[in-house]
Amino acid sequence: MSHHDAIPAPRRHSRADQLIQQFDTVLRTLVPHAAQPSRPSPAGDTRDDEISDEERQHAAGLMRINHTGEVCAQALYQGQGFTARLPEIRHQMELAAQEEVDHLAWCDARLVELDANTSLLNPLFYMTSFALGAAAGAINDKVSLGFVAATEELVGEHLSAHQQTLPQGDQRSRAVLRQMEIDEAHHEQWALEAGGHRFPAPLKSAMRLMSKVMTASVYRV
């Protein structure tokens, strides 16, 4: 028996396997409270200071935006992983997607604490982001990685701004957003180091415009 015969090749997931995994991910992403984090919430034992009902509603609006942002990120990584060519790129995207699941669950848990719901528009934004991710991955891995980097840069800007505009007493939301910002910066750095193209300024501006539409609608719905 030859050496090649002695060591079986690693099993490759069929397209049917991938579709089943995708469907499972869709459910875990879109069904409230279904996402299971692999890390405990950064809020931990952090206590909030006194916040008014109006401040609570504002904090909920911001956390709803961040939750939907993570829905989009999850869809983006799933779409790109579906079409990415290089196995190591696909594997890294799966790892990054798991951290996005953590973010999703943390934001969801915080919304529960704030007596608020996730956005009703999440399915729409999931489908749009999945399509964009799959299209980028289908072009080539450099464009796909560049899209990751540009998206994570944009998310980082949102997270930084939200930490400044959260009610002063909302320490638990701020702790969550702080860790999310650290993770997103790592994702951006990885994507660029892996060979991602830096997107030109006009394209980033178009992405910012799209994100403004999302944030304006999700803040209340």
Neighbours of 117 (CB within 10 A): 14
Q: Rounded to an integer, what distance in angstroms lies between the CA atom of residue 56 and that of residue 52?
A: 6
Token pair 């300024």 is found at: 201
pLDDT at position 98: 81
Sign of the CA dihedral 189, 191, 154, 186? negative
157 annotated binding-site participant: no
pLDDT at position 9: 41
- List domains and CATH numbers for the chain: 15-28+51-218 (1.20.1260.10)
Distances (CA, A) of 114 to 49, 60, 108, 166, 198: 13, 6, 10, 13, 38
58 annotated binding-site participant: no
The set of residues, in sequence order, having a beta carbon less than 8 Å from that of 71 and lying 6+ positions away, is 29, 30, 104, 122, 125, 126, 129
The model's pTM: 0.84
Alpha-helix residue ranges (DSSP H) falling in the chain:
3-6, 15-30, 53-83, 87-113, 122-139, 141-165, 171-193, 201-218
How long, in residues, is the chain? 221
3 annotated binding-site participant: no
33 annotated binding-site participant: no
CA 209 to chain centre: 18
pLDDT at position 94: 74
88 annotated binding-site participant: no
* 10-residue stretch averages of pLDDT, the chain, 221 residues long: 44 63 71 84 92 95 94 84 71 78 94 95 91 85 86 91 95 96 92 86 84 88 87
Grouping H, G, I as helix, E, B as strand and the rest as coil, residue 16 is: helix
pLDDT at position 22: 65
